[in-house]
Structure 1
Amino acid sequence: MKKQLKVVVTGGPGGGKTTALDLFRRELGDKIAVVPEAATVLFSGGIPRSDNEQMVKIIQKTIFQLQKNFEEIHKKQFPDRLLVCDRGSLDGLAYWPGTETDFFKGVNSTFEHEIARYDAVIFFESAAITGHDISSNNPVRNESTDQAAQLDVKLQKIWSRHPHFYFVSSSESFVRKIMFGIMTIENVINMHRRP
Structure 2
Amino acid sequence: MKKRIVLTGGPGGGKTTALDLIRREFCGKIASVPEAATMMFSGGIDRAKNDTVLRTQQVAIFNLQKHLEDIQRATYPECVVLCDRGSLDGLAYWPDSKEDFFKTMGSSIEEEFARYDAVIFFETAAKSGESIRSNNPIRNESDKAAIELDTKLQAIWSQHPNFNLVGSSESFIRKVLFGIMTIENVIGQYKHY
Q: What is the TM-score with the length of structure 2 in the denominator? A: 0.96
Determine if the alignment matches structure 1 residue 46 to structure 2 residue 44.
yes
Q: What code does the residue aligned with 2:55 have?
A: K
Q: CA deviation at 1:26?
A: 1.1
Q: Distance between the aligned counterparts of 1:180 and 1:140, measured in 2?
A: 26
CA shift digits 1:47-93 (9 cap, x unpaired): 11112101000000000000000000000111111100000000000
- The answer to whether the 8 Å contact 2:169/2:175 transfers is no
Q: CA RMSD in A?
A: 1.1
Determine if the alignment matches structure 1 residue 136 to structure 2 residue 134.
yes
Q: Distance between the aligned counterparts of 2:17 and 2:188, measured in 1?
A: 23
Q: List aligned pairs for 1:77-116, cutoff 5 A.
A: 77-116=75-114
Of all paired residues, the percent bearing the same amino acid is: 60
Q: List aligned pairs for 1:63-82, cutoff 5 A.
A: 63-82=61-80
- The count of residues paired between Structure 1 and Structure 2 equals 192
Structure 2: where are the runs of 5+ without partners?
Answer: none
CA shift digits 1:3-29 (9 cap, x unpaired): 210000000000011111110111111
Q: CA deviation at 1:172?
A: 5.3
Structure 1: where are the runs of 5+ without partners?
Answer: none
| Range 182-191 or range 149-158, more displaced | 182-191
Where does structure 1 differ by over 6 angstroms across 4 or more consecutive aligned residues?
A: none
